[in-house]
């Protein structure tokens, strides 16, 4: 049974759910809820949903976590509601600066400002002489800074997770999925079109280049971030190159609904031949009406 909580109140008995998809994401995107409700008798008129209100889904032990409504669409007989895990105001452009600060300190400050707790998983504690946030939303800015240190972030149920990509991809597999388990035709891609052979980071006369010995493609040139030393430039170049190349092999698969598998999990794929191996799940979309789980994933990157 699916339980629906609006602003902390269970409303399952008061509304009729037609379609429900919950997307659990890791790194680039926020988690999301996409729900369609029957509204032929104006069942939602008493609740009057508004952007910024919270929506939470529980299904047989699975919890989406509270998300903030950011889309409402009403059509004849239905109402569609979308929600995301990024707090209201998280995309508002901000300008500010820090001095003698680390990524951990910045993340902890932003989490506190939004009333979130924070967890760090193998995050380096390098100190920068100065960091400027120039007209960027807080979480987009934090995501960029995390990438410089080879890290990604996830926001779930008012908790901010910041983790090392190398650490995450090195975790043991939680499940082996065989090709015989696929419900829809899988799609795998091994493309050099968006990969690079090297990355250069420079600021003024200070800079460095990192080369991927197994990489294919041009040099990624980055001149957007101030660096205080050649060592810092080299560290940024290595991490940005890994971030650009880690999704050289990607895939999309679907299996019978399995909410025990989530974004950020490592799985083994077997039975495909060419594309067998260890993959990290970038996004897990659970479609409760269809009883299907769809995964977007990439092969774990091991060159550096």
Answer whether residue 304 is part of any domain. Answer: no
CB 194 within 8 A of CB 220: no
Give the CA dihedral 252, 255, 260, 263, nearest 10 degrees: 10
The domain that holds 146 is classified in CATH as 3.55.50.10
CA-based nearest residue to 30, from 132, 137, 187, 102: 137
Domain limits at 132?
Answer: 93-167
| Statement to judge: residues 176 and 263 lie in one domain | yes
In the predicted structure, residue 224 carries a pLDDT above the cut 90: yes
**3-state SS, residue 240:** helix
| Statement to judge: residues 111 and 227 lie in one domain | no
| Statement to judge: residues 145 and 216 lie in one domain | no
Q: How many structural domains does the chain have?
A: 4
Which of 84, 117, 141 represents a domain boundary (last residue)?
A: 84
Q: Where are the beta strands (DSSP E) in 138-218?
A: 151-156, 159-164, 175-178, 187-190, 198-203, 206-211
Name 44's Cβ contacts closer than 8 Å, sequence gap at least 6: 15, 37, 79
| Statement to judge: residues 28 and 108 lie in one domain | no
Which of 58, 84, 110 represents a domain boundary (last residue)?
A: 84
Q: What is the mean pLDDT of residues 86-108?
A: 95
| Statement to judge: residues 34 and 80 lie in one domain | yes
Tell me the C-alpha to C-alpha distance, in Å, between residue 107 and each of 96, 215, 267.
14, 31, 29
Backbone angles phi, psi at 199, to 5 degrees: -140, 130
pLDDT tens digit sequence for 166-218: 999 999 999 999 999 999 999 999 987 789 999 999 999 999 999 999 999 99
Answer whether residue 301 is part of any domain. Answer: no
Answer whether residue 229 is part of any domain. Answer: yes
Residue 262 is given by DSSP the state -
In the predicted structure, residue 1 carries a pLDDT above the cut 90: no
The pLDDT, as a whole number, for residue 69 is 97
**3-state SS, residue 182:** coil
| Statement to judge: residues 138 and 226 lie in one domain | no
Could you tell me the sign of the dihedral formed by the alpha carbons of 208, 213, 218, 220, in that order? negative
In the predicted structure, residue 28 carries a pLDDT above the cut 90: no
| Statement to judge: residues 177 and 281 lie in one domain | yes
Name 225's Cβ contacts closer than 8 Å, sequence gap at least 6: 148, 201, 203, 236
Residue 278 buriedness (CB in 10 A; 0-12 / 13-18 / 19+) = middle
Answer whether residue 254 is part of any domain. Answer: yes
pTM over 0.75: yes
Answer whether residue 63 is part of any domain. Answer: yes
Name 277's Cβ contacts closer than 8 Å, sequence gap at least 6: 268, 269, 299, 300
Residue whose structure tokens are 């080299």: 234
CA-based nearest residue to 110, from 80, 81, 143: 143
Tell me the C-alpha to C-alpha distance, in Å, between residue 186 and each of 240, 253, 261, 269.
29, 5, 17, 11
| Statement to judge: residues 292 and 179 lie in one domain | yes
Answer whether residue 260 is part of any domain. Answer: yes
| Statement to judge: residues 178 and 157 lie in one domain | no
pLDDT tens digit sequence for 130-165: 999 999 999 999 999 999 999 999 999 999 999 999
In the predicted structure, residue 46 carries a pLDDT above the cut 80: no
**The two structure tokens encoding residue 80:** 């569609």
């Amino acid at each position: 049974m699916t339980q629906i909580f609006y602003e902390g109140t269970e409303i399952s008995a008061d509304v009729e759910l037609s379609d429900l998809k919950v997307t659990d994401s890791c790194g680039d995107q926020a988690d999301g809820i996409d729900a369609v409700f029957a509204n032929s008798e104006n069942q939602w008129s008493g609740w009057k949903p508004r952007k910024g209100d919270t929506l939470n889904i529980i299904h047989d032990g699975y919890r989406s976590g509270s998300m903030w409504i950011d889309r409402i669409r009403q059509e004849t007989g239905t109402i569609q509601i979308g929600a995301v895990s990024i707090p209201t105001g998280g995309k508002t452009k901000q300008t500010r600066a820090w001095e003698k600060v680390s990524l951990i300190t910045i993340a902890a400050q932003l989490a506190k400002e939004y009333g979130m707790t924070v967890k760090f998983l193998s995050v380096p504690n390098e100190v920068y002489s100065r960091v400027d946030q120039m007209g960027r939303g807080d979480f987009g800015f934090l995501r960029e800074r995390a990438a410089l240190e080879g890290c990604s972030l996830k926001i779930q149920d008012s908790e901010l997770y910041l983790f090392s990509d190398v650490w995450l991809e090195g975790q043991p597999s939680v499940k082996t999925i065989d090709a015989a388990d696929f419900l829809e035709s899988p799609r795998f891609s091994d493309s050099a079109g968006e990969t690079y052979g090297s990355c250069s980071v420079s600021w003024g006369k200070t800079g460095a280049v990192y080369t991927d010995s197994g990489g294919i493609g041009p040099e990624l040139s980055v001149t957007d971030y101030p660096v205080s030393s050649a060592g810092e430039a080299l560290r940024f170049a290595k991490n940005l190159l890994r971030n650009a190349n880690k999704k050289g092999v990607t895939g999309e698969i679907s299996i019978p609904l399995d909410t025990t598998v989530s974004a950020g999990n490592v799985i083994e794929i077997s039975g495909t031949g060419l594309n067998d191996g260890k993959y990290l799940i970038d996004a897990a979309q659970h479609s409760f009406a269809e009883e299907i789980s769809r995964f977007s994933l990439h092969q774990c990157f091991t060159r550096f």
